[in-house]
């Protein structure tokens, strides 16, 4: 091999011959310790057979890792007389890259002795409260390893921390390390103190000789602006007329829609849905009759509630006027807030026999239905 080892020489140069041909000499050519326990027929195959190094072989590789200058490679020696068991190698220039010689070393990295602080999660957000009242707490965990001192935890302005969910909140906590330098995983609770403002900062975790770890925290403490009360009118018996611009007319034809604030026209967030029985086209179905009712007399409660907002001259009645017919109309309100109280006024002006049912989608609501236009506020 040009500029390389040959059967006769370790570098192909005259005068640099092996002590014994084929580097067989254990005095001048190579060491005498066998580095693996390959059987004589271990390579009696094609492909890529694998033979593990023995203890001495592993020690040699470890020595190379510790002192690369001692890496002179290895010598493969065939001690068997059977000529059928030859080992053939490709050079590094071989056309098939997978056949080119390579040395694969597998090793494990021992446990790190670097001092470390660990926190999880790394962020807490969504804290909210009103001035003077601490927010609900949110938890996270902290631990440490290979420490020389404990972990000091410091809360930023606007926040407080504790190891107890309900008591003991302050701006600083120290977690002691044990004799092995470890801080066992500990749950820490954080909350807004109730100081007014918007906060976006971090709870810091420090220990001597250790990289600082942070848990970012964000939230706001502010007065709650109350939503002003509103009043909405829906005229169920005037599909073709609209007494007030901001009144709605959801009824037997247009059966669903959002209610409006009668004063501003803004959507209230409450939706009204109308259903009926019998259905349209069935015998006895209810229908709107625009001239069968009347506005209540002046001075009555109904007049004060409904006058100028809806037209009470229309009614919902049976399509079979001359027969005793039962029908009903269901009105469902959805999108209601459990923290609010709703008052419902209805003025039933009907013909024949009617059952009207009003449903609220939040059963905890309180509402009042004395003295159909519906007035919801």
Which domains, from first to last, does the chain contain?
116-221 (2.60.40.1510), 232-376 (no CATH)
| pLDDT value of residue 81 | 61
Biggest CA-to-CA distance, the chain:
133
| pLDDT value of residue 361 | 46
The total number of residues written for the chain in this structure: 377
Rounded Cα distance between 354 and 284, Å, is 11
| pLDDT value of residue 137 | 95
| pLDDT value of residue 147 | 96
* DSSP secondary structure code for residue 121 in this structure: S
Opening angle at CA 83, ends 80 and 84, nearest 5: 105
Q: Where are the beta strands (DSSP E) in 281-334?
A: 286-289, 315-318, 326-334
HSE-CB at 365 with a 13 A cutoff on CA atoms is 22
| pLDDT value of residue 78 | 66
pLDDT in tens, 329-359: 888 888 887 777 787 777 654 443 344 444 4
- pLDDT under 70: residue ranges of the chain: 1-3, 40, 43, 46-48, 78-87, 110-111, 225-227, 238-242, 319-325, 347-377
Rounded Cα distance between 168 and 163, Å, is 7
Query: Quick check: 185 and 119 in contact, CB under 8 A?
Result: no
Residue with token string 């080892």 = 5
Rounded Cα distance between 334 and 257, Å, is 10
| pLDDT value of residue 366 | 38
Rounded Cα distance between 352 and 85, Å, is 110
Q: What radius of gyration do the chain's Cα atoms show?
A: 45
* DSSP secondary structure code for residue 295 in this structure: P
């Amino acid at each position: 091999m040009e500029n390389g080892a040959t059967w006769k020489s370790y570098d192909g140069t005259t005068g640099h011959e092996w002590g014994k041909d084929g580097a067989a000499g254990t005095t001048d050519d190579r060491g005498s310790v066998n580095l693996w326990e390959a059987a004589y027929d271990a390579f009696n195959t094609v492909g890529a057979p694998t033979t593990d190094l023995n203890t001495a072989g592993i020690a040699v590789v470890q020595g190379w890792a510790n002192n690369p200058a001692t890496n002179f490679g290895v010598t493969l020696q065939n001690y068997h007389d059977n000529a059928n068991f030859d080992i053939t190698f490709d050079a590094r220039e071989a056309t098939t890259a997978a056949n080119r010689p390579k040395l694969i070393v597998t090793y494990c990295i021992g446990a790190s002795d670097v001092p470390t602080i660990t926190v999880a999660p790394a962020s807490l957000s969504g804290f909210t409260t009103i001035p003077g009242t601490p927010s609900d707490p949110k938890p996270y965990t902290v631990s440490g390893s290979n420490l020389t001192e404990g972990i000091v935890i410091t809360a930023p302005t606007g926040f407080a921390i504790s190891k107890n969910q309900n008591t003991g909140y302050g701006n600083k906590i120290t977690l002691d390390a044990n004799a092995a330098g470890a801080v066992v995983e500990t749950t820490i609770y954080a909350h807004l103190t109730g100081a007014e403002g918007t906060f976006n900062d971090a709870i810091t975790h420090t220990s001597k000789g250790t990289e600082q770890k942070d848990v970012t925290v964000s939230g706001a403490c502010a007065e709650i602006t109350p939503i002003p009360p509103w009043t909405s009118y829906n005229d169920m018996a005037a599909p073709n007329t609209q007494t007030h611009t901001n009144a709605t007319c959801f009824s037997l034809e247009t059966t669903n829609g959002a209610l409006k604030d009668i004063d501003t026209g803004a959507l209230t967030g409450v939706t009204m849905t109308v259903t009926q029985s019998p259905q349209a086209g069935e015998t006895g179905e209810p229908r709107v009759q625009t001239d069968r009712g009347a506005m209540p007399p002046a001075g009555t409660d109904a007049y004060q509630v409904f006058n100028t907002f809806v037209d009470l001259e229309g009614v919902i009645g049976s399509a079979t006027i001359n027969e005793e017919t039962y029908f009903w109309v269901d009105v469902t309100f959805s999108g209601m807030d459990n923290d609010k109280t709703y008052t419902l006024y209805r003025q039933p002006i009907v013909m024949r026999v009617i059952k009207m049912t009003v449903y609220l989608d939040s059963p905890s609501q309180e509402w009042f239905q004395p003295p159909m236009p519906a007035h919801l506020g």
